[in-house]
Structure 1
Amino acid sequence: MEKIPNRKEIINRKLLITEIDSIAAEYSPTSFEFRRELLEKLKSVLEGGTKELERRFLESNKGRPAMYANSFLIDQIIRTIYDVASKNVYRLSNPTPEETLSIVAVGGYGRGELAPYSDVDLLFLFPYKQTSWCEQVIEFTLYMLWDLGLKVGHSTRNVDECIRLAKKDVTIQTALLEARHLWGDQELFAEMRQKYMKEIVAGNSKDFIEAKLQERGERHERFGNSRYVVEPNIKEGKGGLRDLQTLFWIAKFLHGTTEISRLVELGVFTEKERRRFTKASNFLRTVRCHLHYLAKRPEERITFDMQPELAQRMGYKDHAGTLGVERFMKHYFLVAKDVGDLTRIFCANLEAEQQKKSRFAITRFGLRRRKLKGYRVESGRLNVTSDDDFKNAPVKMLDLFHLAQEKQLDVHPNALRLIRQDLKLINRKLRADKTANRLFLDMLTSRNDPETTLRRLNEAGVFGRFIPDFGRVVAQMQHDMYHVYTVDEHTIRAIGILSQIESGLLIEDHPLSHKILPKVLSRNVLYCAVLIHDIAKGRGGDHSILGAEVAEKLCPRLGLSASDTETVAWLVRYHLAFSNFAFKRDISDPKTVEDFAKIVQSPERLRLLLILTVVDIRAVGPKVWNGWKGQLLRELYYASETALTGGHISEGREERAKHLQENLTTALKGWKKADIEKQINRFYPSYWMATNSEDQIAHAKLMRKADKKGKLFTVDAKSDPFRSITEVTIFTADHPGLFARVTGAMSITGANIVDAKIHTTTDGMALDTFFIQDSDGKVFDAGERMKKLRVAIEATLQGDRKPHVEIIDRRKSSLPSRTQVFKVQPSVLLDNKASNTHTVIELMGRDRPGLLAELSRTLFTLSLTISSAHIATYGERAVDVFYVKDSFGHKITNKVKLSNIEKKLVLALTDKIASGTRGVKSKKKATATG
């Protein structure tokens, strides 16, 4: 264990024993009073030592010494308790050989590393047979530790049991590998240690290595199999402390040491790699200690609410275009990447050792070799033939990955290690090399799993060196709840999704994209656009505009023509346009299609932009995409395609309405002519433009049924699993505030509104359609949900329930929302150009319970009539768009009225009236990564 300065300031065990002796002199060691006084004394000492350790840590900001010092404090506490138990409480005048006990620290505690709130893992080792004295001492020790508030994991075994169980369980093997004698009988521990080395370690290195590497792989799968998730687990996640510890365990099992300097001597690591290893280890330990102190518990996830405080504690400040918290997390991801590199290096060394030991192939490290185009294939992995290959021909750093992709081979860890050492050879000269750029473009656009190849290039550091603009976003995160991955990981995943759509693997999820992709004139354009679309994030400006500038410089270098370069730059510039129009605007409004078509201008760009939008959204995170988003994108695509290929955009509204009315007349078989005319005359022209024939027929039947039964309130619902939506249609008497009341009622039943269409009939009825989902973005029809929804809406409209009151009560009793850690500047945009018939209000603010219902109530108090609502969220950021008219059915043009609307809505978006009337939040749909 490292030398710990001023130990007595942490705990003075000699003084503590003297004070305990004084207590023993006053009270009988077997009395309740003695235990009470002893516990109080130990609590005081532990509390004082813990405060001193936290003070030292915050002063030094070094996790490794803090963990050693914390282990020392607990060591002294345990030793003291054991001495009291064995010498005062259960003192033996003439102990037998069986009445001995050894306390052993195992696991991380055995290494002498103990994070502030981590478990204390102990092994109580006794001779062949456990005696009543051993049981009493163990019980006393454990109860005292538990009473002190420590989390103790323990086992009680003899030496033979330890060895027998270790042979069966690799977890026990690992725990004993790090065993450290803590107190008590040393000979007993030495006997166990000797048997362990002889019966467990000797000759079993291959099995142990295989077991630990398999265990690591399974753990990675459980924690997302990516080191680039934005709320990583620092202990168990990929690239975290457990990966480093796995290397420690294997090194100790093989070489009997965990000293990195010794591993350098053995040739496992170079001195430069040793420094990287030490830096990574120290950084992760420091972050983990901060996490524990902040949470006051063994917290291992770097959650959003922890990240800003961690960044501040570790000295990361805001720079132009980048928050301090984002700089901190980027450092974390780069460290996690280093851990991955060091793991590969270590495994390459293991393989080399195994090859020396045996000329026969073994289970994990087969030895079959063959030559392939100037490279060596070893066990299905491509390796160089000489350590100077890259120095002699730097282009081979790309050619190696290109050949591996072509032949479906992995890249050998030895080659990756050499690449790491020679990355400086990827310079301007190589970036300008036509062969190198051709190889890169081939890998990017390959039909043979480009995602895996690009990820390997990125892990090796080649990607960021060869494309410096991409290197700037490696490990770049955005501090929000919408983006699940770092920018580089998101981009690589998007390219992988594009490849899967093209190959037909995602045809059920994205039928339109798969259908139109073969019509795209240039695959290179599409793949380059996906590569570049987010490449300018973190630069302090609009990443779409800055990214287009990058495209104009990078694409010619990669060999694209001037026209293809222009198209890529356009796609990057407008890569958010499709989702913005589809998710925020009313697609049934001809002005929406007209404005979008003016931006797109050609069917080819429409195809390219749709596919780019789909892969962008899909790559944001595992739960972002759903069928409803796909439906909105498809609707806008088809409407725009019609406009761009000779169809009408805003012309022919009367003709279209007449055509739809004729279709309805034909479909309503068995209806009297007078009834059909009555149905048609019940609606204003806007209805015919905003609904399709299928819905119009369903509405007619619903309304007729309600009229015959004299029902003043009717609810109809149907679910579409493909679109991931449940469509709820409400037919009732129209009255002011109806929309706000219904949204409130839906909120208290857990329905998440993603879209709404509001229609008023000429005879004073309302026909409103709400598109809802559950909290997971799926249809809202499980169990008794719909029944509860109907009851809640009817009770609300009848005045029996007041949702806003219920919601206030829930807010007061609920736990704080995770979104509270984020700050989103409230924004209100009033747009009279987006629609020919409505004022479009776009609202943005921090998402919180009750936001949609509160906005609806505010619009009601402003005497505005809502025709449609389009609801979206981007993590913690809510963006809601309403198409509204004034009480006379006109756009709002009066400047005073517009100013008042803006003022009231900004107030509603803020948290200053958090206790006011609002409904539960609507789980809104996400758009493409912004």
Structure 2
Amino acid sequence: MVATESVSEIETLRDADAGAADAGPGGEPGDVADLVVVRKRVPNARAICDAAALTADMESIAAGEDDGVRRRAAVLARLKTALADGTAEIRRRFEASNDGAACVRQNAWLMDRLIEAAARLATEREYPATNPTTAERIAIAAVGGYGRGEMAPQSDVDLLFLRPYKQTPRGEQIVEYLLYLLWDLGLKVGHSTRSCDECIRQAKADATIRTALLESRFLWGDETLYGELRQAFDKEFAAGSPLDFVEAKLQESDERHQRLGDSRYVVEPNVKDGKGGLRDLHTLFWIGKYVYRVDDVTRLVDRGVLTLGEARRFAKAQKLLWTIRCWLHYLSGRAEERLTFEMQPVIAERLGYTDHAGAVAVERFMKHYYLTAKDVGDLTRIFCAAIEAQHKRRRPWIRLPRLLTEERFGDFRIAADRITVADDEAFARDPVNIVRMFHEAQARNAMVHPHALRLITQNLNRIDGELRKDPEANRLFLEILCGTKNPAPILRRMSEARVLGKFVPDFGRVVAQMQFDMYHLYTVDEHTLQCLSVLHDIEAGALKEVAPIATEVVHKVLSRRALHVAVFLHDIAKGRGGDHSVLGERVARRLCPRFGMSEEETDTVAWLVRWHLLMSNTAFKRDVNDPKTVEDFVKIVQSPERLRLLLVLTVADIRGVGPHVWNGWKAQLLRDLYYRAQEALSGDSARRGTAARIDAAKRRLADALPDWSADEVEAHTALGYPAYWLAFDADTHARHARLVRQATRDGAHLAVETRVDADRAVTEVTVYATDHPGLFSRIAGAMAATGADVVDARIFTLSNGMALDTFMIQDEGGKAFDRPDRIAKLASAIERALGGTLRVDRALAARKPTLGRRTRALRVPPRVLIDNKASVTHTVVEVNGRDEPGVLWRMTRALAGVGVQIHSASISTYGERFVDVFYLKDVFGLKIDSKSKLEDIRKALMKALGAEEERKTA
């Protein structure tokens, strides 16, 4: 057992912990006394509801009004006034204090008073019984959260109407009167009417009903009858093993988590039912109450189940979650449990969060939320596992097998497939054992015992500067990170135990660090672990189909340890303000020698962290067929080894963002850049390498067209310029060839082909048309008018004066544009747009396209960057802004309006933000050097980006 203070002392303590998961600017740290919900006094309760005055008024109404209809109307009006005044006072207090724990107590207290007043009126005035029989007894109990004495502003009122056995007419009348009264008050009432026997019978069959009875609370009526239920419940369920109930509640939690994403780090978490939410805390409360028969969590400290520090963490987490949930209810006016994109910045402001260097207020708020959710998970897991272990130890038939399978090694032992310490002094005796335990757990594929996790929590202060410098501790950590097994699972366990953030404080700074956008699905720490898991999959060959080049070259790298450490550190400096790549390089140069890495390895890691975005930025934002692009890239990379390392790191980074970010298009762009850079670094001339790849592409096309004559193949291959042959694979070239031949035979000036790519959730649209100024803009407009969102585009002009443009499109929901009727409508719109009969602005207005709910909540400042050094032959313009319907059409129309030609384009979307890059020439086919012309381009694009706002304010 753990020595603890008495409950009376606990209830007066306040947690002054100012660690990573502090209470934040929204309020004081959690009070352990906040856990004693029902018995905690409501301050100045009369200001919420004067119970004596309410009772007197109800008596006066009942005595002074003989007409039943008018009497009920007067009673309802008085209760409505009491409810409105009380809820207004509670909300006023909440908005002044940001104390969600107090708010839910006060709401429950107010509801108690209203139900008591209504029940007294019903039983004593409306349906009185001078000498009620045993069968006419009735008791009203609160169940669910209301039974705990907690009620969010828009929560249901859950009631149990308890009768002895068979329902009587008087009992039915009382229940009906109360329910209709509560419904007319506008309350959402969940209710059941059962006898004691029915309650017990249903509780046996359903763990949810058993839970409701477990936390039931007497409100009104025959207290003896309610006492009989409690006695029967305790008698029935106290004798059996509590493990069945524990397992049922944990299974229930697992199923609930699966429904809601099974992650604490979802972008719009459910604060009630999500992983790490209030329901997980309730699960801990239910299990503790069921197993130990206690009324509140603080009693678990007296029983030695929770330490004082854990009870404080429980209280702190509960207070923040209740505060957030109350704000959600108040601001939405309904029982909203999701912390949506729209709500996040509003609640952050209400809680007093402000912008800091490197992190805006909403990111700081969400970091605090995720840390709290992590604490909830830690508490629930340790608590439930400890109960399981404790009760199994009491059963002698389990003890013998457990001892037979026990294995001891050094300061550790394996018990029931879990690694734990040989004695409780292991960490104090040698703090390196904290890291060594996780090293052994990874090596033996074993879970860490909850008792060991608790001891680690109590010894976190031993992870100090001395331990961080310890060569053995760093050797063990590096083996965990760079071994042959996937390091992500054990590093995640280390992070959840708060060991990783203490051992590597720079990592601790990004734990739960979120980015307020729709592109990054994970917090920075979780993204890092996802990247390490992807790296392991690449090495294991599991991604050979989707990332073949990375799978091939990863086994050629000579600096494997450097690669793993670079993946671990690549985002280590996010949230500090400034360029996280530059700041991360400094962190790497400081940490790598500490890890025991050589000077050469340190230099490689630092370089990779500094340039970890170089390859993706070059491949996705620049024309890799432009020699200047490759030349600039190679100047930074400098060696084939660094090129291989950078490719693998880039693939891991992109795939680690989220499951739908990586696609074949991005893989192709990275592959093209890799091969071009490899040729330049190996000494092959760019022209010779390019010519060889073009010849190979043409040969593959000929092989893919066995039914074509040699003359037909030669005539077609003469149409494409070098960039075209380097841009697509053989299958795509073959499809294009058939499309061009058929259009030529038909004498068609326009041909449209579509292909649904289900794996990438996009529809590929190929347009073959007569090239003319503004063609790209008209096609983009037709797509916008029919609800298609362009996520990628490649445009080419053939030697016969025809354009061959390829677009990747999705619908408004981010899915493939695959309905036949919509595809037919799209083809028709393209034809009308090119014929000049489609008014895109009118079509957009008729469709009334709106921004998505999440997108509206996010602000993306528009930006136009003009780079005349990135290409020798073209002016490169990069445009950043918020993705919205028709924005690509407005931009391309603006470019056509200032008299420039779009030679090629890269269209990329990152959540709510787009980054589009255009390679431009003037009307004479030359690079644009005129400063006034460049300024005209910038102004036209900025106006196009602001057109939506201008229309709204016009």
TM-score range, shorter chain: over 0.9
Per the alignment, in what secondary structure is the counterpart of residue 906 of structure 2? strand
Paired position in structure 1 for 2:184: 147
CA distance in 2, matches of 1:191, 1:742: 76
1:71 equivalent among 108, 122, 146: 108
- Kept in 2: contact 1:589–1:689 (CA 8 A): no
- Are residues 1:497 and 2:534 paired? yes
Moved more, 66-75 or 703-712: 703-712
Specify the code of the residue in structure 1 equivalent to 2:497. Answer: A
Per the alignment, in what secondary structure is the counterpart of residue 360 of structure 1? helix
Deviation, 1:866, is 1.6
Specify the code of the residue in structure 2 equivalent to 1:139. Answer: E
Paired position in structure 1 for 2:750: 713
CA distance in 2, matches of 1:366, 1:151: 54
- Are residues 1:159 and 2:205 paired? no
Per the alignment, in what secondary structure is the counterpart of residue 288 of structure 2? helix
CA deviations on 1:376-404 (whole Å, 9 max, x unpaired) are 21111111111111111111111111111
- Are residues 1:45 and 2:105 paired? no
1:481 equivalent among 514, 518, 526: 518
1:766 equivalent among 781, 785, 803: 803
Paired position in structure 2 for 1:333: 370
Paired position in structure 1 for 2:423: 386
Give the 3 Å change call, closer, same or farther, for CA 661–623 of structure 1 in structure 2: closer
Deviation, 1:175, is 0.6
- Are residues 1:876 and 2:876 paired? no
- Are residues 1:9 and 2:42 paired? no
- Kept in 2: contact 1:402–1:439 (CA 8 A): yes
- Kept in 1: contact 2:405–2:415 (CA 8 A): yes
- Kept in 2: contact 1:464–1:470 (CA 8 A): yes
Paired position in structure 2 for 1:408: 445
Paired position in structure 2 for 1:346: 383
1:621 equivalent among 645, 652, 658: 658
Moved more, 254-263 or 110-119: 254-263
Moved more, 588-597 or 126-135: 588-597
1:898 equivalent among 934, 938, 941: 934
CA distance in 1, matches of 2:654, 2:67: 68
CA distance in 2, matches of 1:359, 1:692: 68
- Kept in 1: contact 2:754–2:766 (CA 8 A): yes
CA distance in 1, matches of 2:400, 2:806: 62
CA distance in 1, matches of 2:647, 2:692: 29
Moved more, 792-801 or 141-150: 792-801
Deviation, 1:333, is 2.2
Paired position in structure 1 for 2:636: 599
- Kept in 2: contact 1:721–1:779 (CA 8 A): yes
- Are residues 1:847 and 2:883 paired? yes
Moved more, 444-453 or 403-412: 444-453
2:152 equivalent among 107, 112, 115: 115
Per the alignment, in what secondary structure is the counterpart of residue 915 of structure 1? helix
Specify the code of the residue in structure 1 equivalent to 2:292. Answer: H
- Are residues 1:247 and 2:284 paired? yes
Paired position in structure 2 for 1:557: 594
Paired position in structure 2 for 1:438: 475
Deviation, 1:477, is 1.7
CA distance in 1, matches of 2:219, 2:568: 55
- Are residues 1:208 and 2:245 paired? yes
- Kept in 1: contact 2:851–2:884 (CA 8 A): no
Root mean square deviation of aligned Cα: 3.0
- Kept in 2: contact 1:494–1:616 (CA 8 A): yes
- Segments of structure 1 that go 5 or more residues without pairing to the other structure are 918-930
CA distance in 1, matches of 2:660, 2:721: 39
Per the alignment, in what secondary structure is the counterpart of residue 47 of structure 1? helix
CA distance in 2, matches of 1:666, 1:214: 57
Taking the TM superposition and a 5 Å limit, the aligned residue runs for 1:456-535 are: 456-535=493-572
Per the alignment, in what secondary structure is the counterpart of residue 554 of structure 2? helix
Deviation, 1:690, is 5.4
Deviation, 1:164, is 0.3
Specify the code of the residue in structure 1 equivalent to 2:779. Answer: V
Specify the code of the residue in structure 2 equivalent to 1:373. Answer: G
Per the alignment, in what secondary structure is the counterpart of residue 518 of structure 1? coil
- Kept in 1: contact 2:411–2:423 (CA 8 A): no
Deviation, 1:198, is 0.7
- Segments of structure 2 that go 5 or more residues without pairing to the other structure are 1-37
Give the 3 Å change call, closer, same or farther, for CA 598–474 of structure 1 in structure 2: same
Per the alignment, in what secondary structure is the counterpart of residue 718 of structure 1? strand
Deviation, 1:654, is 8.1
Paired position in structure 2 for 1:568: 605
CA deviations on 1:206-227 (whole Å, 9 max, x unpaired) are 2111212222233333333332
Specify the code of the residue in structure 1 equivalent to 2:540. Answer: S
1:833 equivalent among 839, 858, 869: 869
- Kept in 2: contact 1:334–1:475 (CA 8 A): yes
- Kept in 2: contact 1:29–1:89 (CA 8 A): no
1:291 equivalent among 314, 319, 328: 328
- Percent of aligned pairs sharing the same letter: 53
Per the alignment, in what secondary structure is the counterpart of residue 316 of structure 1? coil
Paired position in structure 1 for 2:33: none
Per the alignment, in what secondary structure is the counterpart of residue 883 of structure 1? strand
Specify the code of the residue in structure 1 equivalent to 2:43. Answer: P
Per the alignment, in what secondary structure is the counterpart of residue 913 of structure 1? helix
1:30 equivalent among 53, 68, 76: 68
CA distance in 2, matches of 1:689, 1:401: 48
TM-score of the aligned structures, taking structure 2 as reference length: 0.90
Deviation, 1:114, is 0.6
Deviation, 1:433, is 1.6
- Kept in 2: contact 1:23–1:37 (CA 8 A): yes
1:59 equivalent among 92, 96, 119: 96
Taking the TM superposition and a 5 Å limit, the aligned residue runs for 1:724-803 are: 725-761=762-798, 764-773=801-810, 780-781=817-818, 784-803=821-840
Specify the code of the residue in structure 2 equivalent to 1:156. Answer: T
CA deviations on 1:671-719 (whole Å, 9 max, x unpaired) are 8999778767766676566567765554444233223323232112334
Deviation, 1:309, is 2.0
- Kept in 1: contact 2:851–2:885 (CA 8 A): no
CA distance in 1, matches of 2:727, 2:547: 25
CA distance in 1, matches of 2:327, 2:404: 45
CA distance in 2, matches of 1:186, 1:600: 80
- Are residues 1:866 and 2:916 paired? no
Per the alignment, in what secondary structure is the counterpart of residue 213 of structure 2? helix
Deviation, 1:410, is 1.0
Q: How many residues align?
A: 916
- Kept in 2: contact 1:288–1:300 (CA 8 A): yes
TM-score of the aligned structures, taking structure 1 as reference length: 0.92
Specify the code of the residue in structure 2 equivalent to 1:121. Answer: D
